[in-house]
Amino acid sequence: MMKKIVVALTFMVAIFLTACSQQDQASQLSNGESSSSSEIVAPSSEQSEHGVSIDGSYRGQDEEHTILLVVTGQKGTFTVQDADGEEETKEVSVDPVNQSMRIGDEPYRYRIEGNQLSLEDLEQAEDDQGIIELTKQ
């Protein structure tokens, strides 16, 4: 008889602890403390071992060109529009761990600080700065 009481009490404690645990998880999610929070605008110094996600749209402009970079996951598009309206679009592949990407056939290293994305051309000529600055939209 005593054994049945101990088993019943153990079972009730297990149910109670499970219910409390589920309630804590639900309150964390409702308070916005989700473990799947985004790192889209985190500085590179705060990157995880999987890299920083740069998902989103980025835009930049100089005297001659308007640039639009759209990234989703590890793929994207890089569109350059000339002042006369001509467009050229290239495929993008992103390596978040190494903070690098390929735009068409050209390798770039990227750095993200706040809503600014800097792309450094890894095959740049010594006299060319080779850095493209884009702003998250």
Distance CA 98, CA 50 (A): 9
Is the model's pTM score more than 0.85? no
| 76 lies in the same domain as 55 | yes
Distance CA 101, CA 9 (A): 58
Nearest residue to 110 via CA among 21, 20, 34, 47: 47
Segments in the chain below pLDDT 50: 13, 16, 20, 25-26, 30, 33-49
Domain of residue 61: give its range: 44-136
Question: Residue 123: its pLDDT value, please?
Answer: 83
Question: Residue 122: its pLDDT value, please?
Answer: 86
User: Number of structural domains, the chain?
Assistant: 2
| 86 lies in the same domain as 121 | yes
Cβ(81)–Cβ(65) under 8 Å?
yes
| 122 lies in the same domain as 59 | yes
| 2 lies in the same domain as 33 | yes
Cβ(100)–Cβ(110) under 8 Å?
yes
Instruction: Count other C-beta atoms under 10 Å from residue 41's C-beta.
Output: 16
